[in-house]
Structures are given as structure tokens and as C-alpha cells.
Chains A and B, each alone.
Chain A
Amino acid sequence: MKVLIVDDEVDLSATLVERLEIRGFDAVAVETGAQALDQIRNNIFNVVVLDIKLKGEDGVDVMKQIKQVKKNLPVILLTGHMSKEANEEGLKAGAIDYVIKPIDIEDLIVKLREAVALYS
């Protein structure tokens, strides 16, 4: 399973890549929406993990652009918000699920597998 991680916290995404690779995933990390779109246009991913608050960018807007390029690519939002309303907003905009920071890696993996199973 190939996972694209989009987060401007470089130390976080690099560590997440390593943890996913230890668990048998193929993961790539980028920092910006533009880099994410570039990756998606040129590579095949099964799922995207996207921070909802990128520096200078709204993660939900980035997700909408991703959906324009690959309509059936599932997106899981990474969010720091504890507010259920804010997270529900992301789901309404097209995310398949969300994970609240700090990340529970096992929870993320369950959601990655569910997302891919649903879209395959």
C-alpha cells in the first residue's frame, strides 16, 4: 500500500514515514499542497494523509484539488482540533476519515486499511 503524507512539520512526517515503513507500508512525505499534487499526478498512491492546517494553505482546499486530479483517491485528514464540528466539516468536504494529533499509529493504520478497502 502506497501512502502520501502531506504535512509541513517535517520531523513529524519523516518519522511517520519510518513508522509506516516498519509496518510494511510504502510511504512518501511532502510539505505543501503543490508538492502533493505533483506527486499524485506522477505516481500511484492508495491513500493520502493530509494535515488540515498547512502553513499558508487550507488543507480542505488542498483536498479538493487532490480530488479534482484523482477523484477516487481516499484522503484522511490529520487534525489538531478536538472540536467534532471542525472534523465533521472535513468529512463533509470529502475526507474519508480523520485522525487527531497526537497520532495513535495503530488507529491510523486501521483507518488506512479501511480507506483503501472501501475504495478498491
Chain B
Amino acid sequence: MKENLSDHRGGSRENIVFFGRIMANVSHEFNNIITVISELAGLLKDLSLLARKGRPIPNDKIESLSDNISKQVARGKHLVSHMNHFSHSADNAREEVDLDQVVENMQVLTDRLFKNRQTDLTVSNPSEGISLSTDPFELRRILFACLDQFLDASSHEVSVVIKRPENGENSELQVSGQVETIPPDFLDKLNALKEQAQAINGQLLYEKNETQILIRLILSSNRD
């Protein structure tokens, strides 16, 4: 089910900042991929120049360089595919989404952000996929904002658990982790997120103590 864009989306500034952070991270990854391919191509050229001077290139060297180029191309394709899903998530204000795919999408696109902070992000999926009708872009933005709390809190391990409650009515994303410090603006940010979650017919709850944060994003398929 698709629906045209409506007014429930967060402020445009928040959306632009979110989009910008994802783009900055992904463009850095793309530049790394291009750089590796460029160096591999350069090495091939170096070796071919040496071959002209009488130093033959071993077959296994050519195979190994070719495999490395293919590996980088596959890395780039994977990223492009996720970037494309992400970009199209802004097309419709409401459509059927697969929660697994949304979480995987954000995990791939934020991978370097987490690695830069030496934070491990793990995802636990239920045995069967969960689909629901929601705003795919807003859902990603709220999930990212939840994850961002753990980057701010210098967490070393963050887990996202996708849960299907017993009654089967509401789905839930649980983001949790040990933290070194609770950021001073944590409550302000979480309260703002609560309102944003309500706008996509969700409910955001959190529990915290000095060393642990648990954020629950409960998502209903029924919009009205």
C-alpha cells in the first residue's frame, strides 16, 4: 500500500542532517573502494611495463589482482544497492516495509560510523520476516537517531533486536547497549524522538541506568 508524501515527516532540517550524515559516511566508503581499484589498476600497469622490459608477470599474480578488483566491485555493488534502497525510502510516506530489510539497510550504511568509534553493532532477527505499513524514511531516521544515542554515549557494543510480540499485533525494535556515559542531552533527544515515533503511529519507550540504555520502538501496522 502506497501513500503520497504527507505532513507528518519531521522538520526538513532533521531530514537533511540525517541524509547528509548517511551520504558523508557512504561517500567515504566509495572513495576508499575507488582508491583501492585505482591502486590495483596502477599495479597492473606497473607490472605490464616491467613485462615489456623482460620481467614476465606470473599467472597467479594476474589472477590475484583480478580477484581483488572483483572483491572491491562486489563491495561497491553492495553499497550502491543499499544506497538505492535508502534513497527510494523517501518516495512514499507510507508503504509495506520489511523490518529486517530496514534494519539491515541502516546497519550497512552506518557500518563505518560504528567502526570509527570502535563500536560493534549486532542485529538479531526473528525466524520469520516482519512486514508492516509505515513511513520507510521516517522509520530509518528514528532508528538511526536511536543508534546515534549509543555513539554519543561511547558504547562499545550495541544490539538491535527485532521482536514480534506474542499477540502478533505490534512489532518492536529494541536497541540496547552498555554505555560509558549518558550524554547530557539524552532526555531531550529521546523526548523529541517520542513525538516523532508517534507521528508514524509508533511508541518510543526507554529505560536507562548509569551503564545501560534500552530504547524500545513499538510499531503498529494500524495507522488510524
Contacts and interface: CB of A to CB of B under 8 A. Distances in A.
Most buried by A among B39, B43, B46, B117: B39
B43 A9 contact: no
B222 interface: no
Contacts of B118: 55-56
Nearest to B46: A22
Interface in A40-69: 53, 55-56
Given A15-B43, A22-B46, A56 B116 contact: yes
B210 to A, nearest CB: 24
Interface of A: 9, 11-12, 15-16, 18-19, 22, 53, 55-56, 80, 101-103, 105
A18 B40 CA distance: 10
B36 interface: yes
Contact of A103 (B38, B47, B115): B38
A19 B49 CA distance: 12
Interface of B: 28, 31-32, 34-36, 38-40, 42-43, 46-47, 50, 68, 71-72, 112, 115-118
Given A55-B116, A102-B35, A11 B72 contact: yes
B115 A12 contact: no
Main secondary structure of the interface of B (DSSP, over half): helix
Contacts of B71: 11
A113 B92 CA distance: 55
A16 B39 contact: yes
A95 B34 CA distance: 24
A12 B117 contact: no
Contacts of B39: 12, 15-16, 19, 102-103, 105
A19 to B, nearest CB: 5
Given A9-B32, A101-B35, A15 B40 contact: yes
Contacts of B47: 22
